[in-house]
Amino acid sequence: MAPKFWWPTKVVLLLLSNVGSVFWQRLCAEHGINNEGILEEWATDGGDRKDVFFYQADDEHYIPRAILVDLEPRVVNSILSSSHRSLYNPENIFVSKDGGGAGNNWAMGYSAGEKHYEEIMEMVDREAEGSDSLEGFMLMHSIAGGTGSGLGSFLLERLNDKFPKKLIQTYSVFPNNTADVVVQPYNSLLAMKRLANHADSVVVVDNAALTRIVADRLHGVEDAAASFTQANQLVATVMAASTQTLRYPGYMNNDLVGIIASLIPTPRCHFLTTSFTPFTSESMDKAKSTRKTTVLDVMRRLLQPKNRMVSTSPSKTSCYISILNIIQGDVDPTDVHQSLLRIRERQMANFIPWGPASIQVAITRKSPYVTTSHRVSGLMLANHTSMASLCKRALDQYDRLRKRNAFLEQYKREKPFAGGFEEFDDSRAVVEELMREYLACENADYISYADTAEQA
């Protein structure tokens, strides 16, 4: 049964990615809302909070508190021709009239943000003012191309400046180890500076890990389009599960502040990894079945590297800063306690030496409107020092490209680089410092490192 009192939470979601539309389809299913935005007759007594991500129009249709932004029409057109096309508020859709995109160039995307600032921020202001008890913003984007990295960077800066007391959480898709876009190392590094300086929490998923999970969990899907769809479903499943305690509130972790505060003890180390289990046909088509879903089995699988959605390279000294497991389903708190004891006895997770060595658990209800074949499912949100390897990978890829001064002309043509390439140097310094801080977290004297960094 839901608690009688909870903190009111409202969230505005900005979408610069195709994954966002899959997320909204999933939320509609979990709240009993059809593709026209109408609440089904059988979905009136679920004890859920639809108002976290939806608001009701005058005709009582449910409308997502979402803003769709793109610099070329392809993705938005695919959303507007989908089965859920009537769901969105047409006033909250922005497509650049130029329609040419950002040419996989961070600087072009950033400059487009400056050009269209008034139009986009008018949508943000309208949604923010229409949301009583607004707690924060979520940004869904990719950092490899031009729009997600450049325009995403611009929006992060402006949101942080305009709404300094609101939380900003991003779901950021990092690129593969092998560059699909030749200037991807430049775009990624420039975007990572903004994610480090202007976001409160960054949930990292990367294409390499998504590709691996899809290949491992599916029965040999060779169709690239099908694999892409499955990867989008996987990210949408993680996004939905990470907001489950907000939408089906319990006695703890029922607001964004509570979730973020439990995971991020120091402000700069706010890049989070995720794991999810089990992958079932409801959350991911054609997934291999997981036969047993006890609390212990789910919590054990969440710690397995093969279920992580980030491709990092942990060292022997890598360890967890914090872990929050969101467990959904028919769960006895006693089972959770016993599972935590077993995990501690077997030393399945190594924690930092200067903080509490414990896994936090939030138990939440499943949606009564979505049938699942398993009794228990789980999402792990974790802060892990192996994020340093992600930073190092970005730095190495950038250094190899910059050493040859390759492809710099297309950046120099844009305003952010009109006076030189100091922006690159500054971004590199920020990401390198982030890497050093994650490595410092592995030592018992990290607190003195953090004090020194603050004074500097």
Beta strands in 201-344 (DSSP E): 201-206, 271-277, 320-329
Poorest-pLDDT segment among 95-109, 115-129, 275-289, 425-439:
275-289
- Contact by Cβ (8 Å): 107, 150: yes
Specify the pLDDT at position 291: 62
- Output the six-digit token pair for 209: 């890990």
- Contact by Cβ (8 Å): 185, 400: yes
Residues 360-419: tens digit of each pLDDT: 999 999 999 988 888 899 999 999 999 999 999 999 999 999 999 999 999 999 988 988
- State percent of the chain over pLDDT 90: 64
- Contact by Cβ (8 Å): 138, 169: yes
3-state class of 35 per DSSP? Answer: coil
Pick from 329, 327, 359: which is nearest to 342 by CA?
Answer: 359
Over residues 104-131, the mean pLDDT reads 94
Cβ-count burial 391-414 (b if 16+ within 10 Å, e if not): bbbbbebbeebbeeeeebeebeeb
Cα–chain center distance at 273: 9
- Contact by Cβ (8 Å): 414, 110: yes
Angle, CA of 321, 365 and 33, to the nearest 5°: 115
Q: How far is CA 240 from CA 14, 20, 378, 417, in A?
A: 15, 11, 12, 38
What residues pair up with 134 in beta bridges, in sequence order?
10
Specify the pLDDT at position 374: 85
Specify the pLDDT at position 224: 62
Residues 65-90: tens digit of each pLDDT: 999 999 988 888 888 888 898 999 99
Specify the pLDDT at position 7: 47
Pick from 128, 102, 129: which is nearest to 115 by CA?
Answer: 102
**Binning pLDDT at 50, 70 and 90, where does residue 2 land?**
very low
Residues 317-344: tens digit of each pLDDT: 999 999 999 999 989 999 999 999 999 9
Residue 283 clears pLDDT 50, i.e. is over it: no
Specify the pLDDT at position 452: 66
Over residues 236-256, the mean pLDDT reads 88
Residues 176-235: tens digit of each pLDDT: 876 678 999 999 999 999 999 999 999 999 888 888 888 877 654 556 666 778 888 889
pTM: 0.93
Residues 134-189: tens digit of each pLDDT: 999 999 999 998 999 999 999 999 999 999 999 999 999 998 876 678 999 999 99
Helices (H), 243-383: 244-247, 256-263, 295-302, 333-345
Specify the pLDDT at position 342: 95
Whole-number Å distance between alpha carbons of 355 and 332: 28
Poorest-pLDDT segment among 6-15, 239-248, 359-368:
6-15
Specify the pLDDT at position 228: 76
* Long-range contacts at 243-247 (CB < 8 A, ≥ 24 apart): 243/11, 243/52, 243/53, 244/326, 244/328, 244/364, 244/379, 245/326, 245/362, 245/364, 246/9, 246/11, 246/49, 246/52, 247/27, 247/30, 247/31, 247/48, 247/49, 247/50, 247/52, 247/53
Specify the pLDDT at position 431: 98
